[in-house]
Structure 1
Amino acid sequence: MTELLKLEGIVAGYGEAKVLMGIDLSLGEGQALALLGRNGTGKTTLINTIVGHTRRFAGRLHLGGRDITGLRPDQRALAGIGWVPQERNIFKSLTVEENLTAVAVPGPWNLKRIYEMFPRLLERKANMGNQLSGGEQQMLAIGRALMLNPRVLLLDEPLEGLAPIIVQELMSALQRIIRDEGMSVILVEQNARKALGITDTAIVLERGSVVHASTAQALLADGATLDGLLGVAKH
C-alpha cells in the first residue's frame, strides 16, 4: 500500500506546553485509521497538529512524499488535508449551498454527490447554517470538507452529542466514504467500537504517546485490551 501521510517524531503542543511526545504515524492511500484514547490524551492535539494549528517543537510531516512541515494551515488544506473539527466551524450566516461552494476545489466531490450522500442538505440547501440542527450541521461540515476534494480527511469526534438516528445516518455515510469511495481517513471517536467497525488500523494515545497500534479488527476482537486501554464497556 502506498504511504500517503507520515508523521515522524512529532512533539507538539500549545505555547510552552508539550502535549504530543514523539508521535510516529503512517497512513496508507485509501486506508482508514481509528485514533483512540481517553479524554485528554492528545487526540485532538494530534489532529490539530496535522492541520497546522499547534506549536511544533520537533518532528516532520509528509503528505504524498511532500514535506508539509513548514506549510500554513491554508496551504496544508490546498495540499490535501481535509478537516472536520469538533466545533464544525460552518459559516452560520451563509446558506447550506453557499457553505459547500465557498471552499470548493474541482474534483470528484461536487454538490450533486454531497446531496446524494446527505439528502437532508439538499432539502435545506437554502437554509442558513444557524437554522440547522446539530446533526445537519455535522453533515454540512463533512460535506464542506469533501468539497475541498482532500487526499486525507480528518474527523474529530463527528458523532459527539448527536441523536441515535443521526448517528446511524452519519455512520452509513462514513462507511461509504471509507469503504466505497476509498477515502483516506483519520477518525477520532469516543465510541471505540463504532470507529473500529469501519476502519482498517488503530492507534491508542496515552499522555501524548502511542501506547497501542494494531489492525482495527484485532483490537475490536480483543475486548480485554480494549477495555484496559480505554475503560470502555465490553459489550
Structure 2
Amino acid sequence: MTDWLLETTDLVAGYGEASVLSGISLKLARGRTMALLGRNGTGKTTLVDTIAGLTTHHSGTIRLVGEDITRMRPERRAGAGIGWVPQERNIFRSLTVEENLTAIARPGPWGLEGTFAMFPRLKERRGNLGSQLSGGEQQMLAVARALMLNPKLLLLDEPLEGLAPIIIDELLSALKAIVKGKGLSAIIIEQKARKILPLCDEAVILDRGAAVYSGPSQALLTDDDLLGRHLAIER
C-alpha cells in the first residue's frame, strides 16, 4: 500500500478551455497537513476544487491512497474519502444543526456526539436552523459536516475568512485537535499564513498556477524573506 494519501502529477486544470493550474505535482502523506498559500488569484481555490472534482481537467493525474480519481465525479470522490469545505460553506440553511450533520453522515469514527464535542457551540445550537447561526457558527458547521463524511482528506478553503478574533481562536483550536490530536490529513487554504502554518506540517506557495515553494511549514514560518516576497507578509 502506498505511503502517500494524495498525489497530483503534472496537474493542469481550470474552467472551460482556460487553464489556471500549470503542471502541479505534490504529495501528501497520511496524517500530514499542508498549508496552501499564495496571493489572491494564484490558483489555490482552483487546486482544491480540482482535487474535489469541480473544475475542468486538462491533463495530469490525481491519486487518493493510490487510486486514480482523476476522472471520478465529485460525489464519488466524497465517497472515496474527500471532505470539502468551500468558502461559501454550503450548509443547509433551512435544516437544523443536527439535521445538517446527520443528513450527510457516513459510517466511521466521526459521529454526532464526537463532532459536538469538537464544536461545543454547535451542540448548544443543535436545534437552531442553519440560517439562525452566526457566520462563525456556520463555518464550524461546515467543518463539522465534512467530518461527518468521515473523510481521509479534509480540504478547507479559507476557513478563517471574515471571522471575529474570538471565533478564529476557537476554530483554530478545533482544527489543531482535528489534525494534530486526531491525525486527520488536511489541505488548508488561508490568507492568515502566520495563523495556519503552526498547525501544518508542510506548506506550498502558488504563483500563477505553479508551485514556487514546497517545504516544511516551520521553515517557511521563520523565513521572513519568502513570506514577504510571495505573500506580502511583513515581519
In structure 2, the residue matched to 1:116 is: 117
User: Is 1:87 matched up with 2:88?
Assistant: yes
Where 1:212 maps in the other structure, the secondary structure is: strand
User: Is 1:167 matched up with 2:168?
Assistant: yes
TM-score, with structure 1 as normaliser? 0.98
Q: 1:211 Cα deviation (Å)?
A: 0.5
In structure 1, the residue matched to 2:208 is: 207
TM-score, with structure 2 as normaliser? 0.98
In structure 2, the residue matched to 1:132 is: 133
In structure 1, the residue matched to 2:53 is: 52
Where 2:13 maps in the other structure, the secondary structure is: strand
Where 2:150 maps in the other structure, the secondary structure is: coil
Task: Report the count of equivalent residues.
Answer: 234
| Aligned residue identity for 2:221 | L
Question: Cα deviation per residue 1:56-85 (whole Å; 9 max; x = unaligned)?
Answer: 100010000111111100000000000010
Question: Percent of aligned pairs with the same residue?
Answer: 60
The two structures, once aligned, show a CA RMSD in angstroms of: 0.8
Question: Cα deviation per residue 1:5-32 (whole Å; 9 max; x = unaligned)?
Answer: 0000110000111100000010100000
* Structure 2 unmatched ranges of 5 or more: none
Question: Cα deviation per residue 1:139-198 (whole Å; 9 max; x = unaligned)?
Answer: 000000000000000000000000000000000001001110000000000001111111
In structure 1, the residue matched to 2:177 is: 176
2: CA distance, partners of 1:150 / 1:232: 33
1: CA distance, partners of 2:192 / 2:65: 30
Q: 1:227 Cα deviation (Å)?
A: 1.0
In structure 2, the residue matched to 1:72 is: 73
Instruction: State the 4+ residue runs in structure 1 displaced beyond 6 angstroms.
Output: none
User: Is 1:141 matched up with 2:114?
Assistant: no
2: CA distance, partners of 1:221 / 1:2: 28
In structure 2, the residue matched to 1:194 is: 195
2: CA distance, partners of 1:122 / 1:203: 35
* Structure 1 unmatched ranges of 5 or more: none
1: CA distance, partners of 2:154 / 2:85: 8
